[in-house]
Amino acid sequence: MSLTTPALAGKLSGLQSSAIRDLLKLTARAEVISLAGGLPDAALMPRERIAAAAEEALRDPSVLQYTESPGWPGLREVLAARESARIGRAVPVEDVFVTHGSQQALSLLSEVLLDPGALVIVEDPAYVGALQVFRAAGARIVAVPLDGDGMRLDLLEDLLAAGERPAVVHTVSNFHNPGGVTLSPARRQRLAELSEAHGFWVIEDDPYGELWFDRPAPAPVASYSPQVIRLSSVSKILAPSLRVGWMTAPDRVCRAVELLKQGADLCGSALTHRIAATLLADTDWLTAHITTVRTTYATRARALVTATRAAFGDRIHCTDATGGMFVWADFTDGTDTATLLPAALDAGVAYVPGAAFAVSDAYRHSMRMCFTTADEATLTEAITRLSPAVG
């Protein structure tokens, strides 16, 4: 009898593994200083505080039980209070939905909001985790470039004027990954207005907003319209392994996501939800903790930006690093960052070429550098190594 190999779903044919993930395998060599990763610093994660909260939570046997699909109620209450303060409007507990990291919110939302072929607007360069999700949903993806004030809303308005009807506009509003920029207050308001006028969903993807360096991030896009779906997460302020993310969204979106969450994994972990609730509710401790993370990253970011500008002068243009985890740099002298990478690795430094985040533009002369996991001297050394490789 002849063997017939079973097929994978057709939608997989257009999907590729993340170029960054593949690259990270190459950069994991001990002698390479990697600016390529996108990870928060594990040394800054509050292990003892998490252990104490876990021990306390485990005294209650119900913490090991399944919990409600929208999340452990105690955590949703803490999050509703936090988001109400952030957004400047009372967010009811029913409008808060806890997910397995904010990445799961993106994935469930794409199923809830997108029919195959639906138009999704993303930023260029884009957060690749969102691109993967929207591609898997069979969306038609159109990219709108970033400038120093975030997404170019004039170009979004041109698309709308040309008759494009997006189902979703995705924006990383604060300290963009990978672009490093923040959406200006005027553009936030305009984006919310456009969403209400044209009837598209805005997904405001905000895992970095609390990691500001000089001044707090502007009021969220969600503060301008209750229709905006807002995502956040403890991954960058506490620890990614808790896998606690959340969204605030209108009730009918939350109920639709609930149906799909049941199919995806029934519910999150009451244990990590409870740990997150304990830490997020201890506001004095949390403020001090986040201040430590912010000021540590700010010092590292400044060292990287200073070294980069000193080494390359006007041959490079890089973001100021006002928060978050990344500096985006554009070579103005024609240096091709993908071609440069093997020489950079030989010199002992890694970064992610801009092409990895490209949707429409090629970003051949750009790169993303992450400053979170190395100290100032190491970051400066990374640029000292990169400089002769560029030549």
Q: Does residue 268 bind ligand PMP (CB under 6 A)?
A: no
Distance CA 299, CA 380 (A): 12
With CA atoms as reference, report the closest residue to 137 among 160, 167, 165, 163. Answer: 167
- Strand pairing report for 245-248 and 201-205: unpaired
Distance CA 378, CA 220 (A): 34
Q: CB within 8 A of 278, min separation 6: which ones? A: 53, 56, 57
Q: Does residue 101 bind ligand PMP (CB under 6 A)?
A: yes
- Closest to ligand PMP by CB, 244 vs 347, is 244
- Strand pairing report for 245-248 and 229-233: antiparallel
- Closest to ligand PMP by CB, 240 vs 353, is 240
Distance CA 83, CA 230 (A): 9
Interface residue with ligand PMP, options 19, 45, 49, 129 (CB under 6 A): 129
Q: Does residue 102 bind ligand PMP (CB under 6 A)?
A: yes
Q: Does residue 323 bind ligand PMP (CB under 6 A)?
A: no
Structure tokens at 100: 């397995």
What track of x and - describes contact with ligand PMP for positions 171 through 210 (by CB under 6 A)? -x----x---------------------------x-x---
- Closest to ligand PMP by CB, 34 vs 103, is 103
With contact defined as beta carbons under 8 Å apart, do 388 and 370 qualify?
A: no
* Alpha-carbon distance values, 248 to 58, 109, 156, 322 (Å): 28, 12, 24, 25
- Cβ 4 to ligand PMP shortest distance, Å: 38
Interface residue with ligand PMP, options 72, 97, 127, 175 (CB under 6 A): 127
- Cβ 103 to ligand PMP shortest distance, Å: 3
- Closest to ligand PMP by CB, 127 vs 212, is 127
Distance CA 273, CA 136 (A): 28
Q: Does residue 110 bind ligand PMP (CB under 6 A)?
A: no
* Alpha-carbon distance values, 277 to 68, 155, 230, 335 (Å): 15, 40, 19, 47
Q: How far apart are the first and last CA of the chain?
A: 62
- Cβ 107 to ligand PMP shortest distance, Å: 10
Q: Which residue is nearest to ligand PMP (CB)?
A: 101
Q: Does residue 353 bind ligand PMP (CB under 6 A)?
A: no
- Cβ 70 to ligand PMP shortest distance, Å: 17
- Which 244-263 positions form the footprint of ligand PMP (CB under 6 A)? 245
What track of x and - describes contact with ligand PMP for positions 28 through 67 (by CB under 6 A)? ----------x-----------------------------
| Amino acid present at 85 | A
- Closest to ligand PMP by CB, 69 vs 171, is 171
Say if residue 125 is preceded by a cis peptide, omega within 30 of 0: yes
Distance CA 259, CA 265 (A): 11
Q: Does residue 363 bind ligand PMP (CB under 6 A)?
A: no
- Which 222-241 positions form the footprint of ligand PMP (CB under 6 A)? 233, 235, 240
- Strand pairing report for 326-331 and 316-318: antiparallel
With contact defined as beta carbons under 8 Å apart, do 309 and 108 qualify?
A: no
Region of 9-17, 98-106, 216-224, 333-341 interacting with ligand PMP (CB under 6 A)? 98-106
Binding residues for ligand PMP, rule: CB under 6 A, are: 38, 101-103, 127, 129, 172, 177, 205, 207, 233, 235, 240, 245
